[in-house]
Amino acid sequence: MREMGELWSQLGSLMATIMFVYAMYEQFFPHHLRVYVRKYTQRFTRLMYPYIQISFPEFSGERLKRSEAYTAIRTYLSANSSQRAQRLKAEVDQGRQDSVVLSMDDNEEITDEFHGVKLWWSANYTLPRTQSFSFYPSSEEKRFLTLTFHRRHRHLITTSYIQHVLKKGRAIAVDNRKLKLYTNNPSNDWYGWKRTKWSHVNFEHPSRFDTLAMDPKKKEEIVKDLERFKTGEKYYAKVGKAWKRGYLLYGPPGTGKSSMIAAMANYMNYDVYDLELTAVKENTELRKLLIETSSKSIIVIEDIDCSLDLTGQRKKKKEKKDEDGEEKQKNNPVKKAEEEEKKESKVTLSGLLNFIDGIWSACGGERIIIFTTNFVEKLDPALIRRGRMDKHIEMSYCGYEAFKVLAKNYLEVESHSLFPTIEKLMGETNISPADVAENLMPKSADEDPEICLKSLIESLEEAKKKAEEEAEKKAKEDKKENEKKELVKDEKVEASEKSGEEVKENGIH
């Protein structure tokens, strides 16, 4: 025991001596000489230490934006950390409040293997030595992930493994992500350290192609088109086109245009950007919004014929103003500011065309652009030509095949004795899928499928009767109009003949 005590005493004395010498070295040794000593010490250490380390900081860039590489690697490691790490950190998933995401805790290390090569990943953080002021607040802790591997595997790790991790991490993030529904903010809210051009909520629309009231053949055609687009990155690059596709959804109200968009988003696993054109002041803002959208997304402009008078903006509109009112506005800065705020959007047809199909449309890939309208004939042909709106999808009235889909969804009925009657009536009148769904939805627990189907038959008969009355009324109006035209024509003929007779009589006298 006495020998052990002496050993510890000597060890303590040695450590104290080393600390004293190091303190004297740091205090009195010239800085430029210390730089040389450190450089040659590191070279000597590298000769003895055969491992290489690569660090991936959490934030990078001029304004310390979150690193995409760090996020992808962290996602990749999170998928394996719960099985390999001993100390884990749990965080509530922002997209799914009822689930927890597990990741490596600070200063924890896990191993990975790639083509038989063993590697080590560790999560670390450092605290800044000095306090600094910034207009862009960030955490004081600087976190980073460190990859350690033997130097003989440098080429494999730097050329293959890191790319493998990034690709795998992004794929896992796409599979696990919660879809978002975005809407554009007014440009007044774009500035400041909390600036954002888009606000979002979780996208939880339940619409799917299975539940969509549409002819099965038409649905299958759309699904195949989406699949071809999703796997067409190399094809688009080969033909020299930006990886995007445009869809025009047109048809009467209530035919399921919004449900079609939701079904597309759920099928493709894409975020949805609902672009409100009236909130965009000019073409420059429109381009900025486009840049801020992500890949794997659907950009939607609903009721585009009502959003802006795009065709009318090709000609300058002159508004008549009262001179006194104009003079008052000039002298009243408050009124002037209010008028400026209420001023119509300056987005032009040319700006929208460049947004869809111009040079800026290629900044990012795998995007779908969708326009919806109730009146396709009102749109400028340049806006909906092929190449911009590549596929035109007519959302028509409910047919018998679409009705069977709705009957299965709402009533869990695939056949019924009333189906032939409904099929006959649907062939004779127009009714929207929304109206059919409303009739098929049970209003109470006592209503059975037969009551709902009878309610639909009544609505169809009512719609048929109304259509016949309108057709009869129109026929009568057309008849009256034709009779009126004939009467005017006869009067003109009589007047012409009378004029001719007067000329003849005057000629005789």
pLDDT at 319 over 50: no
Residues 6+ apart with CB under 8 A from 378: 305, 311
Q: CB-based contacts of 341: which residues, under 8 Å, 6+ apart?
A: none
Rounded distance between C-alpha atoms, residue 59 and residue 67, angstroms:
5
Assign 190 a pLDDT band (cuts: 50, 70, 90). confident
More confident residue, 43 or 334: 43
Spatial distance between the Cα atoms of 234 and 236, rounded to a whole number of angstroms: 6
Lowest mean pLDDT among 118-132, 199-213, 400-414, 425-439: 118-132
According to the model, what pLDDT value does residue 490 have?
Answer: 73
Tell me 98's DSSP state: T
Encoded tokens for 458: 């009544």
* Token representation of residue 151: 């130097």
Amino acid present at 163: Q
- The angle subtended at Cα 265 by Cα 263 and Cα 267, nearest 5°, is 65
- Where does 377-448 have alpha helices with state H? 381-384, 400-411, 419-428, 433-440
- Mean pLDDT for 12-29 is 80
Predicted local confidence at residue 12, as pLDDT: 82
Q: Please give the average per-residue pLDDT across 154-167, as a whole number.
A: 93
Q: What is the number of H-type helices and E-type strands within the chain?
A: 18, 15
Q: What is the pLDDT of residue 507?
A: 57
* pLDDT score at 493: 73
d(CA 109, CA 120): 7
The answer to whether the beta carbons of residues 364 and 293 sit under 8 Å apart is yes
What are the distances in angstroms from CA 132 to CA 128, 136, 137, 186, 381? 9, 11, 10, 33, 57
Interior/surface letters 41-63, b for 16+ CB within 10 angstroms, e for the rest: eeeeeeeeeeebeeebebeeeee
Q: What is the mean pLDDT of the chain?
A: 80
pLDDT score of 322: 47
Cβ neighbours of residue 433 closer than 8 Å, sequence gap 6 or more = 213, 254, 255, 256, 397, 398, 402, 406
CA 141 to chain centre: 32
- Please tell me what DSSP assigns to residue 252: S
Q: Which of 17-21, 86-90, 152-156, 264-268 has the lowest mean pLDDT?
A: 86-90
> pLDDT higher for 61 or 287?
287
Question: Which segment of 78-82, 102-106, 111-115, 363-367 scores lowest on mean pLDDT?
Answer: 78-82
Instruction: Give the model confidence (pLDDT) of 201-245 as tens digits.
Output: 999 899 999 989 888 899 999 999 999 999 999 999 899 888 999
pLDDT confidence of residue 321 = 45
Q: How far apart are CA 374 and CA 380, in angstroms?
A: 14
Mean pLDDT, residues 417-434 taken together: 91
Contact between 283 and 351 (Cβ < 8 Å) = yes
Higher pLDDT, 64 or 428: 428
Please give the DSSP secondary-structure letter assigned to residue 460. Answer: H
DSSP string, 120-184: EEEEEEE--SS----SS---SSEEEEEEEEEGGGHHHIIIIIHHHHHHHHHHHHHHHPPPEEEEE
pLDDT band of 335, cuts 50, 70, 90: low
DSSP code, position 103? E
Give the residue-averaged pLDDT of 92-107. Answer: 65
Helices 433-440 & 449-508 angle (0-180, nearest 10) = 150
Q: Which residue has the higher pLDDT, 229 or 362?
A: 229
Cβ burial, residue 298 (10 Å; 0-12/13-18/19+) = buried
d(CA 94, CA 170): 17
In this predicted structure, the answer to whether residue 320 has a pLDDT above a threshold of 50 is: no
Model pLDDT, residue 331: 55
Model pLDDT, residue 381? 86
Ranges 224-238, 283-297, 336-350, most confident: 224-238
Q: What is the pLDDT of residue 333?
A: 54
- Say if residues 122 and 55 touch (Cβ distance below 8 Å): no
Task: Give residue 477's pLDDT.
Answer: 86
C-beta separation of 370 from 297 below 8 A: no
Query: Alpha-carbon Rg of the chain, whole angstroms?
Result: 36
Pairing outcome for strands 367-373 and 297-301: parallel
Give the separation between CA 41 and CA 480, rounded to whole angstroms. Answer: 106
Whether the per-residue pLDDT at 279 is higher than 80: the answer is yes
- pLDDT at residue 316 is higher than 50: no
On the question of pLDDT at 506 being above 70, the answer is: no
pTM: 0.69
Q: Cα–chain-centroid distance for residue 56? A: 29
Q: How far apart are CA 276 and CA 366, in angstroms?
A: 21
Checking if the pLDDT of 286 tops 90, the result is no
Rounded average pLDDT over 363-380: 88
Tokens found for residue 287: 């381009």
List residues bridging with 15 in a β-sheet.
Answer: none
Q: Evaluate whether 122 touches 109 at the Cβ level (below 8 Å).
A: yes
